[in-house]
Amino acid sequence: MNLLRSEWTKFRSLRSTWLTAAMTVLLGVGIGALASGTAARTYTGEDWDPTASSMTSLVVAQLAIGVLGVLVITSEYATGTMQPSLTAAPRRGRLLAAKATVLAGAALVLGQLIGFASFFTGQAVIAGMDVPHATLGEPGVLRAVVGCGLYLAAIGLLGLGLGAASRSTAGAIGALVSITWVIRALSSALPESWSNWMDRYWPTTAGERITAVLRAPGELGPWAGYSILCAFVAAVGAAGYAVLRTRDA
């Protein structure tokens, strides 16, 4: 409990945290609204998932939240505060667990804020263009909107794990961008069997299933996809823990 309080103090006492949070919400909701408008304009009635369109907000938001997760640990290395932090809390596993808990909590709250805000703005945009929009009462919609927050919390933890494993802000952000954006973009250049596999099982692609209402044949279910993401995040986190535990601080 003491460690959680300490980590929360570290987290909330930086102006950059609040700045990033505000930027994430604004950018996320803005992108969500834009994407909803674009989707509505090209509406044909086929494969229409207005919820997923408004959840496009997470494409950008995941980067900001991931970076927040990276900085939770790499800023301690960069500024040298790892030394006083570890002197006060020499059990490194507990320190990392406290960081993860505080970050997951904050990312979840922020993620829900983004999810609901972009859902309502997105649906308002779609409704304004006289295209069928979604309501929270429809099957799977509430799960998809809450799923946006869950997805972002997982990406925040991914950032923390990458930060712990690489101990460098630049390295960890590079890995984060690769995992969430670059590798996915490259998958279309791969042979078809590979790219099919990637579209299905790449951790962040699979994880995003939780924010969709429609499920095309052959696609993973929302929770199956999210579990793959969580397993991946756990593996990266374990690698980060191993580095923190064994290397000289």
Token readout for 130 is: 């006289």
Residue among 41 and 91 whose Cβ is closer to other proteins: 91
Sorted by sequence, the CB contacts under 8 Å of residue 97 that are 6+ apart come out as 3
Token readout for 205 is: 């692609």
Spatial separation of the C-alpha atoms in residues 169 and 78, rounded to whole Å = 8
Spatial separation of the C-alpha atoms in residues 197 and 15, rounded to whole Å = 41
Residue among 96 and 220 whose Cβ is closer to other proteins: 96
The single residue listed with the structure tokens 């990637």 is 198
Q: In angstroms, give the least distance from the CB of 10 to other proteins.
A: 5
At residue 11's C-alpha, the angle toward residues 7 and 17, to 5°, is: 165
> Which of 43, 24, 249, 230 has its CA nearest to residue 130?
43
Q: In angstroms, give the least distance from the CB of 182 to other proteins.
A: 30
Residue among 88 and 235 whose Cβ is closer to other proteins: 88
Q: In angstroms, give the least distance from the CB of 75 to other proteins.
A: 6
> Which of 150, 113, 125, 122 has its CA nearest to residue 51?
122
Residue among 38 and 83 whose Cβ is closer to other proteins: 83
Residue among 5 and 41 whose Cβ is closer to other proteins: 5
CA-based torsion, 216, 129, 54, 179: positive or negative: positive
42 burial level (CB within 10 Å; 0-12, 13-18, 19+):
exposed
Q: What are the residues binding other proteins (CB under 8 A)?
A: 2-3, 5-7, 9-10, 13-16, 75-76, 79-91, 248-249
Q: In angstroms, give the least distance from the CB of 4 to other proteins.
A: 9
At residue 41's C-alpha, the angle toward residues 40 and 42, to 5°, is: 90
The single residue listed with the structure tokens 């630049």 is 170
Residue among 41 and 245 whose Cβ is closer to other proteins: 245
Q: In angstroms, give the least distance from the CB of 147 to other proteins.
A: 33
